Amino acid sequence: MTFVIIGGDAAGMSAASKSKRNDPTIEVIVLEKTTDVSYLISGLSYNIADPHRKVDDLVVRPIQEFKDKLGIDVRLDHKVERIDRINKKVKGRSAAGREFELAYDKLLIASGARARRLSVPGIDPPRVVTLRSLEDGRRLKQLISSRIPKRSVIVGAGYIGLEMADAFYRRDVSVEIFDIESRLLPWMPSEMARIVQMEMESKGVKFHLESRLLKVEKKENKLCATFTTGTARADILLIAIGILPNSEIAAQAGLVLGARDAISVDTTMCASDPDIFAAGDCADMVHVVTGQKVLIPLGLIANRGGWAVGDNVTGKYTAVPGIVGTAVFEVFNMEVARTGLSFSEAQEAGFDAVETHIHSHSRALAYPGIQDIYVHLVADRSSDRLLGANVVGREGAAHRINSVATALHAKMGVREFYQCDMAYAPPFGPVWDPLLIAANQLIKKM
Amino acid sequence: MTFVIIGGDAAGMSAASKSKRNDPTIEVIVLEKTTDVSYLISGLSYNIADPHRKVDDLVVRPIQEFKDKLGIDVRLDHKVERIDRINKKVKGRSAAGREFELAYDKLLIASGARARRLSVPGIDPPRVVTLRSLEDGRRLKQLISSRIPKRSVIVGAGYIGLEMADAFYRRDVSVEIFDIESRLLPWMPSEMARIVQMEMESKGVKFHLESRLLKVEKKENKLCATFTTGTARADILLIAIGILPNSEIAAQAGLVLGARDAISVDTTMCASDPDIFAAGDCADMVHVVTGQKVLIPLGLIANRGGWAVGDNVTGKYTAVPGIVGTAVFEVFNMEVARTGLSFSEAQEAGFDAVETHIHSHSRALAYPGIQDIYVHLVADRSSDRLLGANVVGREGAAHRINSVATALHAKMGVREFYQCDMAYAPPFGPVWDPLLIAANQLIKKM
């Protein structure tokens, strides 16, 4: 059997390794359009922050290991351009311009996503950048070390934008962030978002909200970016306004697209063709809380999807019942974590949403080094069901979110969650964990 | 209505505050045999470690606040000696020797627990100590600062023993720990316990296992402790071999005792008399995993029980369905956390127990500052149900345990837990959280 995989990052290489480990007799061919496979893209901003680290440190496993140890046929510089479902073939072109054609028995589309671009004048490399690949990272790092930029402008205050603000700061590059939204981190209460914003502003980051980029010009060796709210001069301009799934070849092949134009898959990651699977940032998933399809591009989801495909193409049934969108990032000294639905997402999904947010502490009051911690919980008034959470703080926020994520998977009610017997010791929190304090407050509102 | 509470620590003062807040018209009288109420006893070892902190920093809320702000009648130095259930009265004696008698409508026994003692010759104050109260802490701290001890012997390698080893170390007192068990932390795999032991040994702590204390003598101003395995000389000897519930007055009043001679209560914390409740370290609780009654003396459990009583005596029904025994402590730089059943507890409870333990990391491999993290999971082979966990590591262990605790309350299967969508970012763990890696390994064994 020939198992062809389009895309050699998290989902693709997970599926390749898993299928080959399950059944060493199958032929696994990975077609990767770049020259990198299996890398930790989520580590890019942290890597850029550190001039002493090479971008290639982010490679999880070298290509040669996939080839030699696992017998996976990894073909770099191979861009698939067309899927012929009738004849079960993929067709494409190598970077050198050579056409190729390859038959498959099972196909995985793990083509990932690309940075969303803006169609305004002047968005030109090398100094206007996006960040999605190791190659993007290498170019940006090279730019920083060669041109020693003093000022940056970041368009977009999402995860990447905020993480890169931190990275630029560490490289002594000043940061101005512009975003079209009226506030930061719109999925959490504005009071909590303000904590993160204030932390960043204390480091000199300037925010310009409700700002749309109109054009970029070069003036006296500087980039001059004009926004609806004013202009900013910079040496580097980063566009970080989200992603678009690379689902075009799937659509052209007549496969059904789902949430946000990602490839629609069932819980076995099978697309609308029994021999074609999709996983990672190009595929949708069921959100456990709403039961709706969503596209949430995150590393664990890609890996999990890839593993499931590796099983399913080798006769081992593995389903991924769904996700809850648990995510965390670190910006300066703040841990910012979320899971499940925001208040407005809960309302949109038809829940009788009720929310609360509380301020507590990361350690017991009598313990040195105490920090603030903020918890936001959302629940459904009529069913009592917990729907989502945000946790923000200098310590203890990242891992706390996983208790709520677990509760969401278990479809726990707030009252049930409040009864959870959580760990307590003075270095790690108050007697009543901040999550329990928040749950108690939420119960009072219900 | 008169609500009398025996004992003014976590459970007692929680019940006092909650009942008074629910119904300001009731009379709440707290009878406390010591001169301290509402303190963070779990912070004692950390406090002793720091010569610049006063033991009184551990007082959560001053007595005057309970009296003035909440109108709670707190009577210190009041030791209850007898409960007269027929006439609904408690009788006792103050520290000054004055007898008192008090009628109740509802009674809460929150008399806590006392340190277990050894009946061997020479266990005499002031230099042979136990640690259960603020007064114990004040005496020990005074002893350390006045006599400047060089060497300590700790009998018992439980939480208190290990935490105090850390505290003595920070006070420049050498530590030898003796325990009758053949190994440290017997509820976790020996490989994981050894990690903790090695960490402590690297700081100079010496362990003597399978050692029983036979006698203590004074020789040349030193304590000389003779164990079955040899002798040790010290300036301070700490006995930390666990606790016994203060349930004697309950037993004398004919109330039913349960697990480990704690007062048996139902889920509303009501004892075997409809007007008498018990909560905290003197009361048992249902273990959610086994359905059996247990006595697990922990701060959150005491607070939760007290709150429930505060509700239940004021006509607001609140049940505590049960606990899973989640606990964490910090010793030197290690976080040591557990929840649910150990492998042998699972076997004893009749489960078809299967276990695994894995080694993973606290951060992504490409991220600086990475530390080892160890996870142990126990499950039931026939039902797939998750039964317990241990997590040990220099960072990220404490809060991770709560995800498993939540799963235990939800009665999740391992396969379901493995599907949980957990947070990932390079500073906080690998793409597959160590908990998920462990769950995956466990599934393979099932």
3-state secondary structure B376-391: EEEEECCCCEEEEEEE
Output the pLDDT for position B125.
87
**Which 3 state secondary structure label does DSSP give B361?**
strand
Pick from B299, B324, B327: CB nearest A431: B299
Q: Which residues of A touch B326 (CB under 8 A)?
A: 421-423
Q: Check A423 against B57: CB less than 8 A apart.
A: no
Q: Check B405 against A421: CB less than 8 A apart.
A: yes
Kindly state the DSSP code that residue A158 receives in the 8-state scheme.
S
Range scoring the smallest mean pLDDT among A427-436, B57-66, B258-267:
B57-66
Nearest to A226 by CA among A207, A236, A238, A212: A212
Nearest to A83 by CA among A1, A5, A9, A12: A5
DSSP string, B177-212: EE-SSSSSSTTS-HHHHHHHHHHHHTTT-EEE-S--
Output the pLDDT for position A365.
84
Cα torsion angle, A219, A222, A223, A228, sign: negative
Q: Check A422 against B326: CB less than 8 A apart.
A: yes
Q: Check A329 against B425: CB less than 8 A apart.
A: yes
Q: Which residues of A touch B329 (CB under 8 A)?
A: 425
Average of pLDDT values for A59-74? 94
Q: Check B366 against A398: CB less than 8 A apart.
A: no
Average of pLDDT values for A390-397? 97
Q: Check A426 against B42: CB less than 8 A apart.
A: yes
Residue of B nearest to A331 (CA): B427
Output the pLDDT for position B365.
85
Pick from B368, B403, B421: CB nearest A325: B421
d(CA A28, CA B210): 56
Average of pLDDT values for B83-105? 97
Average of pLDDT values for A141-164? 96
Q: Which residues of A touch B414 (CB under 8 A)?
A: none
Q: Check A423 against B288: CB less than 8 A apart.
A: no
CA distance A399 to chain B (A): 6
Q: Which residues of B touch A416 (CB under 8 A)?
A: 409-410
Are B226 and B215 in contact by the 8 Å Cβ rule? The answer is yes
Residues 6+ apart with CB under 8 A from A386: A340, A377, A378, A379, A404, A407, A408, A412, A413, A414, A417, A439
Average of pLDDT values for B250-275? 98
Pick from A57, A58, A330: CB nearest B425: A330
- pLDDT surpassing 90 at residue B385: yes
CA distance A83 to chain B (A): 31
- pLDDT surpassing 90 at residue B366: no
Q: Check B402 against A420: CB less than 8 A apart.
A: yes
- pLDDT surpassing 90 at residue A225: yes
Q: Check B421 against A43: CB less than 8 A apart.
A: no
B188-226 pLDDT tens trace: 999 999 999 999 999 999 999 999 999 999 998 999 999
- pLDDT surpassing 90 at residue B127: yes
Q: Which residues of B touch A426 (CB under 8 A)?
A: 40, 42-43, 46
Confidence of residue B268 (pLDDT cuts 50, 70, 90): very high
Q: Which residues of A touch B327 (CB under 8 A)?
A: 423-425
Output the pLDDT for position B12.
98
Q: Check A409 against B412: CB less than 8 A apart.
A: yes
Q: Check A58 against B299: CB less than 8 A apart.
A: no
The number of angstroms, rounded, from the C-alpha of A23 to the middle of its chain's C-alpha atoms is 31
Mutate one of B402, B409, B444 to test the A interface: name it (highest A CB count within 10 A). B402
- pLDDT surpassing 90 at residue A145: yes
Q: Which residues of B touch A400 (CB under 8 A)?
A: 399, 402
Partnered with residue A174 across adjacent β-strands are A151
Residue B145 corresponds to which tokens in the numbers above?
A: 């600062």
Mutate one of B38, B365, B399 to test the A interface: name it (highest A CB count within 10 A). B399
CA distance A417 to chain B (A): 7
Determine what percent of chain A is predicted with pLDDT higher than 90.
98
DSSP string, B386-446: EEEEEEEESSSHHHHHHHHHHHHHTT-BHHHHHT------TTT--SS-HHHHHHHHHHHH-
Q: Check A40 against B365: CB less than 8 A apart.
A: yes
**Pairing of the two strands A213-219 and A222-227:** antiparallel
d(CA A421, CA A436): 9
Q: Which residues of A touch B288 (CB under 8 A)?
A: 421
Q: Check B425 against A366: CB less than 8 A apart.
A: no
Output the pLDDT for position B223.
97
Output the pLDDT for position A22.
97
Question: Full-prediction pTM beyond 0.95?
Answer: yes
Q: Check A320 against B416: CB less than 8 A apart.
A: no
d(CA A162, CA A186): 14
B162-172 pLDDT tens trace: 999 999 999 99
Confidence of residue B384 (pLDDT cuts 50, 70, 90): very high
Are B405 and B395 in contact by the 8 Å Cβ rule? The answer is no
Average of pLDDT values for B313-338? 97
CA distance A40 to chain B (A): 8
- pLDDT surpassing 90 at residue B377: yes
Question: What is the ipTM metric for this complex?
Answer: 0.97
Residue of A nearest to B403 (CA): A403
- pLDDT surpassing 90 at residue B91: yes
Q: Check B329 against A425: CB less than 8 A apart.
A: yes
Q: Which residues of B touch A423 (CB under 8 A)?
A: 326-328, 337, 339, 398-399, 401-402, 405
Are B287 and B323 in contact by the 8 Å Cβ rule? The answer is yes
Would you tell me how many other CB atoms lie within 10 Å of the CB of residue A369?
Answer: 9
A230-268 pLDDT tens trace: 999 999 999 999 999 999 999 999 999 999 999 999 999
Q: Check A421 against B367: CB less than 8 A apart.
A: no
Report CA-CA distances (Å) from A256 to A44, A106, A271, B342.
32, 17, 7, 48
Q: What are phi and psi of B53, to 5 degrees?
A: -100, 145
Q: Is A185 left (phi over 0), alpha (psi -120 to 50) or beta?
A: left
Are B336 and B401 in contact by the 8 Å Cβ rule? The answer is no
Pick from B42, B323, B366: CB nearest A58: B366
Mutate one of A421, A443, A444 to test the B interface: name it (highest B CB count within 10 A). A421
Residue of B nearest to A417 (CA): B406
CA distance A246 to chain B (A): 22
Q: Which residues of A touch B322 (CB under 8 A)?
A: 419, 421
**Which 3 state secondary structure label does DSSP give A26?**
coil
Mutate one of B367, B390, B421 to test the A interface: name it (highest A CB count within 10 A). B421
Q: Which residues of A touch B53 (CB under 8 A)?
A: 366
CB pairs under 8 A between A and B: 210
Residue of A nearest to B327 (CA): A423
Mutate one of A331, A361, A402 to test the B interface: name it (highest B CB count within 10 A). A402
Q: Which residues of A touch B424 (CB under 8 A)?
A: 42, 298-300, 327-328
- Tell me how far apart the 2 most distant CA atoms of chain A are, in Å: 70
Q: Which residues of A touch B428 (CB under 8 A)?
A: 328, 330, 335, 398-399
- Tell me how far apart the 2 most distant CA atoms of chain B are, in Å: 70
Output the pLDDT for position A131.
95
Average of pLDDT values for A47-72? 94
Q: Which residues of A touch B47 (CB under 8 A)?
A: 366
Output the pLDDT for position B65.
93
